[in-house]
């Protein structure tokens, strides 16, 4: 039983409200509202209690005598399993997974409020480890000695192999540099520096070199976290990056809105541009003449449906040195030709990664410096490659499926044929434990909110009855967790008021898209009253995006219908053309709702749009109508459309379930809406438009505040800087924790070999008649 069911039961049991309030006011009330779920196995009821993010307790109440007993997580999970698979629950040798057993030597955060600030914490911890006696800083010297670029030494050579020698040399070098003009190029003093033991990498000019040296001198004299982070962030450690994103259609054009292909692709392409820019800046400042390389490794899909996903290489637009590398999924002796759902990709990942690794080593002429995974499949690929090559690894989830589907763990058998959740959850915990750092978009992604557990947090303890009981999956207090929120490309998504920059070439298209009365493959429905503002939403047509929910709220709310028109962009109109299970159901539902609420004349449903630039202009045209963006998802991991809309100056109403609740400060930079309470949500929107009618300044206020929020917190520049700082810090951190890391890696390998490989056998592989067999890579 989940909290809401418990509250309903409470109402049934104590129908007198005064009495109920009295009962819930005391200690019981405090516990009651922290309960996440209850498991009823008469005469016992076991509760899982979450007093604050990341903290869990378990108790068992005997309903016969109301005695309360604290129980372990293992016992709680067993108690739960009794409902789904009694024999397995009672099996003394059932498989228990405990990743926490390897974490004894890793320091952890202790405060809920610090979760996601891993970088700061690691910086403090490293500082304290290197403090005290001079020799304590030797690991830093050893690390500097290990830095090289394709065999060429960087920073220092063996002449400066001890802390004492390095410290002395720094003093001499600083004196020498003080005598030079600030802009003297490094090359001018490179030879003398080399003799003293200093290699390239300190800076491009005398001034920059001096600053970096001063920073290190201060760290060696008395380490402090700020200087430590600053110094590490200046080190030349990252030049070549591999980014994995295997599933879906990964392309630069015509892919958005295709099944499983949404924000992740947008995020990665923008990330690559921002990362390359930041790398180029840093490499220049380090005084090096190196071309960085970023490769996005994805799946090659022969049946590319008009996209470029059947090409092996593609240069990434807007970059100089970044490319997409596509490698096909292979099955025995053939290439898999068609798209497969993100839930079905697991059987192919191991082979895919091996082939990517071979190609990358060739392309980069050696190991990459950082491997970043995206989503469960990409994170697994990153884990396999990073483990094999011994390279620093980062993971990004975008969305973890576990929290999206209620009880997806305990009910895995019921859901198996559609989703194969055990494969995905195993891939997730393997990657979460193997990775050096995790990049999350929001706090809630890691540790949720007061009432709702985070996506990562939900992997702390769970059970897959019949398969394994995970008593410690991941610990959200681990300092590997960091928040770095993405942005939106501000050359595409910019305010509607910037008239001179607007993409006016799209205006006739957009006018047609919104207002023509023609019904065709691109749009159905029409807008009778062109003067009304438009409320707009755009998403993939997944159940969780709840575009059908918004349509229904609108249909039901006469007041709102009187005030505004509704425009929806998503999916397409013929369910038989869809290959995606959820999309088909949503398409049918949309048609039914338009009929049921007689929405023609007030709704325009536009098929998925793949042109980003035109979409940017579309948001702005909606802003011209003094409209708003609505993001009604039942749950949204982050929500790029929310920041795109806000960048365009569109007042935004977004779900309070997930990332958007953090992006928007409710009532200030936009509004939160509750996707489970359609009436309340549609009234919040209607109230806003009523106020705008009386006070036009009301609309402007929210438009401006939304933009302000974006520029303060959600830009790619901020992101890229943070990401590279993490890359540098965690590369050093993994060196310091080598032994512990190795021990954990052994356990992960065991788990992967014995469990994951067996699980992927259950995922069906599509047959392809008449395909020519191809040779193995």
CA distance 545 to 697: 31
Greatest Cα-to-Cα distance within the chain, rounded to the nearest angstrom: 87
Query: If binding is defined by CB under 6 A, does position 423 make contact with ligand UDP?
Result: no
Q: Distance between CA atoms of 607 and 258, rounded to whole angstroms?
A: 11
Residue 640 is a binding residue for ligand LCN (CB under 6 A): yes
Q: Which of 210, 398, 626, 734 binds ligand LCN (CB under 6 A)?
A: 398
The reply to whether 635 sits near ligand LCN by the rule CB under 6 A is no
638 contacts ligand UDP (rule: CB under 6 A) = yes
- Say whether residue 270 binds ligand LCN (CB under 6 A): no
Closest residue to bound ligand LCN by CB: 263
Whole-Å CA distances, 83 to 72, 461, 665: 18, 17, 41
| Single residue of 539, 560, 621, 748 touching ligand UDP by CB under 6 A | 539
The CA–CA distances, whole Å, from 621 to 537, 572, 696 equal 13, 22, 18
Instruction: Give the Cα separation of 231 and 140 in Å (integer).
Output: 11
Q: Applying CB under 6 A, does 658 fall inside the site for ligand UDP?
A: no
Among 257, 378, 658, 706, binds ligand UDP (CB under 6 A): 257
> What mask, x for binding ligand LCN by CB under 6 A, covers residues 348 to 387?
----------------------------------------
Query: Could you tell me which of 446, 431, 246, 242 has the C-alpha nearest to residue 343?
Result: 246
**Closest C-alpha among 502, 531, 501 to residue 514:** 531
569 binds, among ligand LCN, ligand UDP, none (CB under 5 to 8 A by kind): ligand UDP
118 is an interface residue for ligand UDP by CB under 6 A = no
Q: 506 phi and psi, to 5 degrees? A: -90, -5
CB of 671 to ligand UDP, least distance (A): 17
Using CA atoms, how far residue 295 sits from 235, 242, 326, 361, 625, in Å, is 22, 5, 10, 11, 41
Instruction: Answer whether 147's CB lies under 8 Å from 201's CB.
Output: yes
> Nearest distance from residue 486's CB to ligand UDP, in Å?
9
Candidate segments 136-144, 228-236, 412-420, 637-645, binder of ligand UDP by CB under 6 A: 637-645
Nearer to ligand LCN, 137 or 440 (CB): 440
376 touches ligand UDP (CB under 6 A): no
Range list of H helices, 97-244: 118-130, 138-146, 163-178, 186-196, 206-221, 225-234
Output the smallest distance, CB 403 to ligand LCN, in A. 11
Q: Which tokens belong to 775?
A: 């040779």
Distance of CA 492 to the CA centre of its chain: 22
608 binds, options ligand UDP, ligand LCN, none, Cβ within 5 to 8 A by partner type:
ligand UDP
Q: Does 637 bind ligand LCN (CB under 6 A)?
A: yes
List beta partners, residue 606: 523, 569
Judged by CB, which is closer to ligand LCN: 593, or 664? 664
Cα–Cα distance between 517 and 513 in angstroms, integer? Answer: 9
Q: Does 636 bind ligand LCN (CB under 6 A)?
A: yes
- Partner whose binding site includes residue 570, from ligand LCN, ligand UDP, none (CB under 5 to 8 Å by kind): ligand UDP
Pick the closer one to ligand LCN by CB: 220 or 640.
640
Nearest Cα to Cα of residue 654 among 523, 539, 497? 539
Residue whose Cβ sits closest to ligand UDP: 262
* Region class of 495: left (phi > 0), else alpha (psi between -120 and 50), else beta: beta
Between 267 and 481, name the residue whose CB sits nearer to ligand LCN: 267
For β-strands 67-70 and 523-527, DSSP reports them as unpaired
- Contact residues toward ligand UDP (CB under 6 A) are 256-257, 262-264, 266, 538-540, 569-570, 608-609, 615, 638-641, 644
- Contact residues toward ligand LCN (CB under 6 A) are 263-264, 267, 398-399, 441, 636-640, 659
């Amino acid at each position: 039983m989940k909290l809401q069911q418990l509250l309903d039961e409470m109402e049934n049991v104590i129908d007198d409200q005064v009495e109920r309030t009295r009962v819930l006011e005391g200690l019981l009330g405090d516990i009651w509202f922290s309960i996440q779920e209850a498991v009823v196995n008469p005469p016992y009821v076991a509760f899982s209690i979450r007093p604050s993010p990341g903290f869990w307790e378990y108790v068992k109440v005997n309903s016969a005598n109301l005695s309360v007993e604290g129980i372990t997580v293992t016992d709680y999970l067993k108690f739960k399993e009794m409902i789904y698979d009694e024999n397995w629950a009672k099996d003394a040798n059932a498989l228990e997974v405990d990743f926490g057993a390897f974490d004894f030597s890793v320091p952890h955060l202790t405060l809920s409020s610090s979760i996601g600030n891993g970088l700061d914490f690691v910086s403090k911890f490293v500082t304290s480890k290197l403090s005290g006696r001079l020799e304590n800083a030797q690991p830093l010297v050893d690390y500097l000695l290990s830095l090289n670029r394709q065999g060429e030494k960087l920073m220092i050579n063996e002449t400066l192999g001890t802390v004492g020698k390095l410290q002395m040399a720094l003093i001499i070098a600083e004196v020498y540099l003080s005598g030079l003009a600030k802009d003297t190029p490094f090359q001018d003093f490179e030879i003398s520096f080399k003799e003293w033991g200093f290699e390239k990498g300190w800076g491009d000019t005398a001034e920059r070199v001096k600053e970096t040296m001063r920073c290190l001198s201060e760290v060696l004299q008395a380490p402090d976290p700020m200087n430590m982070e600053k110094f590490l962030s200046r080190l030349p450690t990252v030049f070549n990056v591999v980014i994995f994103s295997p599933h879906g259609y990964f392309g630069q054009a015509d892919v958005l809105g295709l099944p499983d292909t949404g924000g992740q692709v947008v995020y990665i392409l923008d990330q690559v541009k921002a990362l390359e820019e930041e790398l180029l800046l840093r490499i220049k400042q380090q005084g090096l003449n190196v071309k960085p390389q970023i490769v996005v490794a994805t799946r090659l899909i022969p049946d590319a449906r008009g996209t470029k996903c059947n090409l092996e290489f593609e240069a990434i637009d807007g970059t100089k040195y970044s490319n997409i590398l596509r490698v096909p999924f292979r099955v025995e002796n053939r290439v898999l030709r068609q798209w497969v759902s993100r839930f079905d990709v697991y059987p192919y990942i191991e082979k895919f990664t091996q082939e990517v690794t071979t190609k990358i080593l060739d392309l980069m002429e050696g190991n990459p410096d950082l491997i970043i995974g995206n989503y469960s499949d990409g994170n697994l690929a990153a884990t396999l490659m990073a483990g094999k090559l011994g390279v620093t690894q980062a993971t990004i989830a975008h969305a973890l499926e576990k929290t999206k589907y209620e009880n997806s763990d305990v009910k895995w058998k019921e859901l198996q044929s559609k989703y194969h959740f055990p494969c995905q959850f195993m891939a997730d915990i393997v990657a979460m434990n193997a990775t050096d750092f995790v990049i999350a978009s929001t706090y809630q992604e890691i540790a949720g909110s007061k009432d709702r557990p985070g996506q990562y947090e939900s992997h702390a303890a769970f059970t897959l009855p019949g398969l394994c009981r995970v008593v410690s999956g991941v610990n959200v207090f681990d300092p590997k967790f960091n928040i770095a929120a993405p942005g939106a490309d501000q050359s595409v998504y910019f305010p509607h008021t910037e008239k001179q920059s607007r993409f006016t070439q799209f205006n006739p298209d957009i006018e047609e898209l919104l207002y023509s009365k023609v019904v065709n493959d691109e749009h159905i429905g029409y807008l009778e009253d062109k003067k009304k503002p438009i409320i707009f939403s755009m998403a993939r047509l997944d159940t969780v995006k709840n575009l059908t929910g918004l349509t229904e709220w609108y249909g039901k709310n006469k007041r709102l219908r009187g005030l505004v028109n509704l425009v929806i962009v998503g999916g397409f109109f013929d369910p038989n053309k869809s290959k995606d299970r959820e999309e088909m159901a949503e398409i049918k539902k949309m048609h039914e709702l338009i009929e049921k609420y007689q929405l023609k004349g007030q709704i325009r449903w536009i098929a998925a749009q793949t042109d980003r630039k035109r979409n940017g202009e579309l948001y702005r045209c909606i802003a011209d109508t003094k409209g708003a963006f609505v993001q009604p998802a039942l749950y949204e991991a982050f929500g790029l459309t929310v920041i795109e809309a806000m960048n365009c100056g569109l007042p935004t109403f977004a779900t309070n379930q997930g990332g958007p609740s953090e992006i928007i400060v409710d009532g200030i930079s936009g509004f939160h809406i509750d996707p489970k309470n359609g009436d309340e949500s549609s009234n919040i929107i209607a109230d806003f438009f009523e106020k705008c009618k009386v006070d036009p300044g009301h609309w402007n206020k929210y438009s401006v505040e939304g933009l302000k929020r974006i520029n303060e917190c959600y830009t790619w520049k901020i992101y890229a800087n943070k990401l590279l700082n993490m890359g540098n810090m965690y590369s050093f951190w993994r060196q310091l924790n080598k032994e512990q890391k190795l021990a954990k890696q052994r356990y992960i390998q065991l788990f992967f070999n014995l469990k994951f490989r067996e699980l992927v056998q259950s995922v069906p592989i599509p047959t392809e008649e008449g395909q020519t067999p191809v040779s193995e890579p």
